Amino acid sequence: MTTDTQHGTRFPLEPDYDPFAPAIREDPYTWLANRRDRGPVFFSPAVGMWVITRYADVDAVLRDPDTFSSENAIVGRYHPEVTARLAGKVPMTATLIGMDRPDHTRLRRIVNAAFTRARVARMEEDVTRLARRLAEDLPRDEPFDVLARFSYPLTLTVIAGLVGIPQQDIQRCHDLSEQWNELLGADERGMPLDDQLRCADAALEYHAHISELIAQREHEPADDLITAVWDVRRTGDVPLSDMEMLSLFPGLISAGHETTANLIGNTLWHLLRRPERWRAFVDGTTDVGNLVEEMLRFDTSIYGMPRRVTRDTVVGGVAIPAGDLVFLHFAAAGHDPDRFPDAAELRPTREDLQHLSFGRGAHFCLGAALARLETRIALEQLAAIRPGLRLVSEPEHVPHFVFRALRELVVE
């Protein structure tokens, strides 16, 4: 660790923290644990943010939205040519997770009804039927990528159906949204401009397709979220612009399947890499609900979320000036030994699992109940229908600042 001066304040500078570096990408927890021992808050030039790693500090920031704002905290930093290509056609700031009250409250009211616990519970039979079919269709006589053949089709089909994407368009939306997600941190990763422009074109096509569906649902209603938003918009109770309406659905689709598919993959990887864990799960000696909560703490599918500081403040003994960005490292907080004894161990029987992987407060994850349901059912169906699964090779992780994702998970 070195120190530098900013706004007249000496502060911890950590030039070695680069989440895209292979060593940190594959095992961020060991590196962050060592860094936490030297100081739980540091500035990373690689990401241009203060990184907050201690549970108590992350929790305190989440409880103080006046000081730590979501407004303009998640802003795409693109190459100027990419920005010019997307301008006016693709929302450049995140809706819901990139808003503060009262706008956040206004828009969240619109989509809350789709993710109530009661509605999610009614989806269990359909999700189970889909997971069972996908598990039964998996190859029996050759290795396969369980993410591509099972986790992603499951979660994508569920969220796309909820939003209102026709069955025949689901795979296309997935492919386009994956390319759109590649733009996050593209410059920092050194992605060639031609590839960035290719991803920008995919983002344009993705949003244009959603726009077409929105226009169609205005006159051809269906039992889906797009129609429900139109119903709210017609009443005038909740003001909503065209761009705000467009921005709601691509983010929901991407977040609603990427993170859950990755959670399923991460959980299955940790079970299969220790065969005795998988056997215990198949035998029914591991409680699946508790396992899911422990995995959300132990190796969650999202590293954290940024916030923008609205006034000079202090976090973990470190002065942070107004206007700077902080990154709330949920994954690091889940490994804080002050909050979780033996934090580096996966313990499905762990109690008091108040992890922060879904956030807290007004921005608590909208789809938390659905993610839990899908992950539980996915693991149950795989254990019932494919109890002999085994890991073929150790996977690599996708280089990403926000998502904790395996590139593939090959099993047989």
For position 264, what pLDDT does the model report? 98
Per-residue pLDDT of the chain (412 residues; tens, 9 = 90+): 444 444 434 468 898 999 989 999 999 999 999 999 889 999 999 889 999 999 999 999 999 999 999 998 876 678 899 999 999 898 876 678 888 888 888 888 888 878 888 888 899 999 999 999 999 999 999 999 999 999 999 999 999 999 999 999 998 988 898 898 888 778 777 889 999 999 999 999 999 999 999 999 999 999 899 998 898 888 877 788 888 889 889 888 888 899 999 999 999 999 999 999 999 999 999 999 999 999 999 999 999 999 999 999 999 999 999 999 999 999 999 999 999 999 999 999 998 889 999 999 989 999 999 999 999 999 999 999 999 999 999 999 998 888 999 999 999 9
For position 182, what pLDDT does the model report? 85
For position 118, what pLDDT does the model report? 85
Angle at CA 317, nearest 5°, toward 297 and 298?
10
- Phi and psi at 40, nearest 5°, equal -80, -10
312 vs 250: CA distance, rounded Å: 34
Phi-psi region of 19 (alpha: psi -120 to 50; beta: other; left: phi over 0): alpha
For position 1, what pLDDT does the model report? 43
For position 94, what pLDDT does the model report? 62
Which residues, listed in sequence order, are joined to residue 320 by a DSSP beta bridge?
313
State the CATH architecture for 2-411.
Orthogonal Bundle (1.10)
pTM: 0.92
- Phi and psi at 365, nearest 5°, equal -50, 125
Q: Are 283 and 346 in contact (CB under 8 A)?
A: no
Q: Are 65 and 100 in contact (CB under 8 A)?
A: yes
Residue 342 burial (CB count, 10 A): 9
Total residue count of the chain as it appears in this document: 412
Rounded to 5, what percent of the chain is helix, strand, coil? 50, 10, 35
For position 2, what pLDDT does the model report? 46
- SS3 letters across 337-394: CCCCCCCCCCCCCCCCCCCCCCCCHHHCCCCHHHHHHHHHHHHHHHHHHCCCCCECCC
User: Residue 235 has which token pair?
Assistant: 């009443």
Q: What does DSSP say about strands 318-320 and 313-315: parallel, antiparallel, or unpaired?
A: antiparallel
Q: Are 321 and 50 in contact (CB under 8 A)?
A: no
- Parse the chain into domains and list their residue ranges: 2-411
For position 10, what pLDDT does the model report? 46
Q: Are 153 and 257 in contact (CB under 8 A)?
A: no
For position 289, what pLDDT does the model report? 96
DSSP annotation of 150 reads I
For position 7, what pLDDT does the model report? 41
Torsion 190-194-199-200 (CA) sign = positive
- DSSP letter string, 202-242: HHHHHHHHHHHHHHHHHHS--SSHHHHHHHHHHHTSS---H
Is the bond preceding 250 in cis, omega lying within 30 degrees of 0? Answer: no
